[in-house]
Structure 1
Amino acid sequence: MAIVAMILTAGTVSVFLAAAFAADLGIHLQEVLADDPAKFALHMRLFVPAQLLWAASNTCVKFSILSLYTTLFPNKRVIQICYATMALTTAYFIMVFLEGFLLCKPVQFNWDKTIAGICTGENTAYLVAGVTNLVVDMFIVILPMPLVFRLQMTLSRRISVAGMFSLGALICVMSQLRVLWLANWNLSDMTYTVTPGAIYSILEPTLGVVNACLPTIKPAINKMFGPGTLNWSRRDSVSKNMSGEATVRNRRSNFIGPVKGNTTREFDHLEDQIHLHKVRVEYSPERKVTYGNNITVDKEFKIHSPGDDNV
């Protein structure tokens, strides 16, 4: 579903770029009509597919994230909530699709303003759709938070995972800015006043695609560049353990000699007080000596070294 969302988002961006370069998006309507009225006609023709592609890409982003939730949190209640949210998202898309064709009579008046026609309730319909989109986005961002903080992991790890999911808050910011823009949209100068909405309509689905793919980025990078590529916490702990072991070795080296490498040690060479290769041992098995305290020696050894008769 994320791939479908990416394709639809690319289509949305392409339509808005076409409107900017070929249909005078961002230019005041009076200037457009005075310069080339055909560009305004093209602008209106691009407006309808841009609106539908925007709604479709956002819907696919929401479906992708909700599907991911059902995989990460295989809880019956969570799955039911996700499916209910998917149903609401589908209803939202149908609403946007219908308003693109039912607000103006005849339908052709949506993109051809040269014919007789009328459009009613456009601002209200767009505003309701924007508010619905914002509410659904906020709910999707908040939904996994209680589940994340119940996971059996360290607090720092839970905060990291929650932060990854909360990047969807950027989408909520874009949605909120879009709602504020819709509330004050002046349709009488459409080619100019639509510019902020075009920016928000581009950023919202593109950020949504990135957010939907974030949980799978780490496994993908590990697959491409090897396991443990992004295991920063593990690397830090391993390096700390290794540095700790090195410290212990260095401390030991003060007593047993310097450390060389990980497993090989060199010890200080000490001169023998008695050269063992010059030692001579005598053994008397039959000699029996009795000492005090009832101690009896049955076998006696004598060690002779140069300079000593008995050691």
Structure 2
Amino acid sequence: MSSNTSDDDQTRIITPVSVCMALALIATAMRFASRRVKHISLLTSDYLSIIGLLCACVVSSVTILQTYFGLGLHVDRVSMPNIRKILLTTFLGEISYSIGFTFIKLSILALYRHIFPTRFIKVSSVVLGTFILMWGISGVLVIIFSCQPIIFSCQPIHGFWDSTTRTKCVDSKWFFIGNSIPNIIADVILLLLPMRDIWKLQLHLRSKIAVSLIFLLGSFVIIASGLRLKSMLSMNEADMTWSYVGIALWSAVEIDLGVVSCCLPVLRPMLAWLIPEAIKNKRAQEFYPLQNN
């Protein structure tokens, strides 16, 4: 394979991933600072968000680390040992991504149940939460058992990153695509789920719009998911270290923004700045959990 030796896509990865990981850390820190300032006990959604943050940090750190192994360069410029390292860290990143997003979405559902204790939200969150949990578990299992050896091996999964072992593996490209589409659909449902109850709040129209926008900021996650899916469709496995850049980048950005979006509704300073009159509203206190716990 011939390639332009000046081609280098590594800077495209490091800066945005570092910034998004920092935003996820800051948002989570503000989340817990808000709880502490208001002397509020931690809720189930808070604990779930911690796991989501840890997994997001793993995904982002792995993505940055992969650039030192050669991600962002054409494959003919990367040594075989480094290609194996990229595949091994990809394996770790994929598992962390699946686990992390499962907990992030469950954290959001737990927050919905706390903010809107209506029958609609309770039933919907159980149904959607069950799907998210089962889909997350199945995704992790497929990743772990994606490579089965043709000959006996003491480590059945190591064929994922060791091309010298004769294995029969799941087509990673189509697994990514098949896994992404249901996730995007679940994200859209998750995003729209609280809108019905938000618009029943006794708030001014301007305040309802502002509250809705707080929740709809999660749409940036869906945009990142779409860009990730687009990158998957154009992936060239023959030049994996170059064509995988988009997938790695948007996977890290997506999960980091997922952490941010699950924290935003809990950040009282932001809500008070956007709709200060809503904070004083008695019915709004039912909307905003930090006020009445």
User: Shorter-chain-normalised TM-score: which range?
Assistant: 0.7 to 0.9
Among candidates 163, 168, 175, match of residue 113 of structure 1: 163
Asked whether 1:16 is paired with 2:63, we answer yes
Among candidates 55, 62, 70, match of residue 113 of structure 2: 70
The answer to whether the 8 A contact 1:16-1:198 is kept is yes
Among candidates 261, 267, 275, match of residue 211 of structure 1: 261
The answer to whether the 8 A contact 1:15-1:46 is kept is yes
**Which residue is equivalent to 1:27?**
73
The answer to whether the 8 A contact 1:8-1:56 is kept is yes
Gaps of 5+ in 1: 223-227, 236-311
The answer to whether the 8 A contact 2:210-2:275 is kept is no
The answer to whether the 8 A contact 2:210-2:274 is kept is no
TM-score by length of 1: 0.68
**Which residue is equivalent to 2:222?**
172
Which one has a larger percent helix, Structure 1 or Structure 2? 2
CA drift of 1:229 comes to 6.5
The answer to whether the 8 A contact 1:109-1:117 is kept is yes
CA drift of 1:234 comes to 4.4
The code of the aligned residue for 1:2 comes to: S
TM-score by length of 2: 0.72
Structure 2 Cα separation of the partners of residues 11 and 85 of structure 1 = 26
What do the CA deviations read for 1:4-36 (whole angstroms, capped 9, x no partner)?
211111111111111112x1111111221xxx3
**Which residue is equivalent to 1:200?**
250
Structure 1 Cα separation of the partners of residues 274 and 99 of structure 2 = 36
Asked whether 1:101 is paired with 2:148, we answer no
Among candidates 75, 86, 90, match of residue 43 of structure 1: 86
What do the CA deviations read for 1:245-302 (whole angstroms, capped 9, x no partner)?
xxxxxxxxxxxxxxxxxxxxxxxxxxxxxxxxxxxxxxxxxxxxxxxxxxxxxxxxxx
**Which residue is equivalent to 1:7?**
54
**Which residue is equivalent to 1:298?**
none
Structure 2 Cα separation of the partners of residues 5 and 131 of structure 1 = 20
CA drift of 1:233 comes to 4.2
Gaps of 5+ in 2: 1-47, 150-156, 279-293
Q: 1:229 to 1:94 in 2, by over 3 A?
A: closer
- Higher relative contact order at CA 8 Å, sep ≥6: structure 1 or structure 2? 2
Q: 1:16 to 1:115 in 2, by over 3 A?
A: same
Structure 2 Cα separation of the partners of residues 126 and 91 of structure 1 = 17
- The count of residues paired between Structure 1 and Structure 2 equals 224
The answer to whether the 8 A contact 1:9-1:54 is kept is yes
The answer to whether the 8 A contact 1:95-1:129 is kept is no
Q: 1:229 to 1:127 in 2, by over 3 A?
A: closer
CA drift of 1:135 comes to 0.7
Q: 1:184 to 1:168 in 2, by over 3 A?
A: same
Larger radius of gyration: 1
Percent of aligned pairs with the same amino acid: 24
Structure 2 Cα separation of the partners of residues 231 and 15 of structure 1 = 36
Among candidates 90, 98, 105, match of residue 55 of structure 1: 98
Q: Describe the SS at the equivalent of 2:77.
A: helix
Q: Which stretches of structure 1, 4 residues or longer, exceed 6 Å deviation after superposition?
A: none
Q: CA RMSD in A?
A: 1.9
The code of the aligned residue for 2:163 comes to: K
